[in-house]
Amino acid sequence: MNELAHPHSTFQLLNQKIMKATKVLIALFTALLFILPTACAQDMSMEKDRKHTISADGTIEKPENPYYSNTDKTKLDVANSEWEKVLPEDVYAIGREANTERAFTGKYWNAAGLGTYYCAVCGNLLFRSDAKFASMCGWPSFFEQEDPESITFHDDNAYGMKRIETKCGRCDSHLGHIFDDGPEPTGKRYCINSIVLDFVPDDPNKKAW
């Protein structure tokens, strides 16, 4: 009876319900836009994990990559055309083409386990976990490299910025950048992409987190 007597009020109520439902759909769509890329990045990392195993002596084995070794320090001079054949797509994109993973999506950005980090391209030893710290920048951060020759530094003026690029000392692959805002004793922050890192835990029964 009231609805027949007040058609305008009924229309307003219906319109409010439609607007509320629309806001909910927009919120869900926005959430999906954030969640799906992150999930895809995690899936890619999981796929990469399945491609290698940790042997009894604590070294990583990657049968599909003949250049990979955690013990061989020989400098590599391999063409990108060859790297493209043996590397996962995400590792190649960052390591050989200097791309960058999205902040807070890498599997090691907030990892806290004890162990050793290696170059995912060639297996070169890069960092120990006790040099890792929580910088909250969205990428794994270290204040010191494990060996003076394990990482090299290069001027990077891309995108109108002056930065120092870090590269693997063995295979010359892009790792990330280094900044002067880290903790003591070095005051450095090695900002590294998770995708170009492999991790071997001190305890084989534990992961990086």
Give the residue numbers annotated as catalytic, written as ranges.
Answer: 191
Is-contact 132 181, C-beta < 8 A?
A: no
Of residues 134, 144, 135, 136, the one with CA closest to residue 112? 134
Structure tokens at 59: 């070294």
Task: Write out the two tokens for 70.
Answer: 């955690």
Q: How many CB atoms lie within 10 A of CB 49?
A: 13
Query: Do 63 and 53 form a contact (C-beta atoms < 8 A)?
Result: no
Whether a cis peptide bond, with omega within 30° of 0, leads into 66 is: no
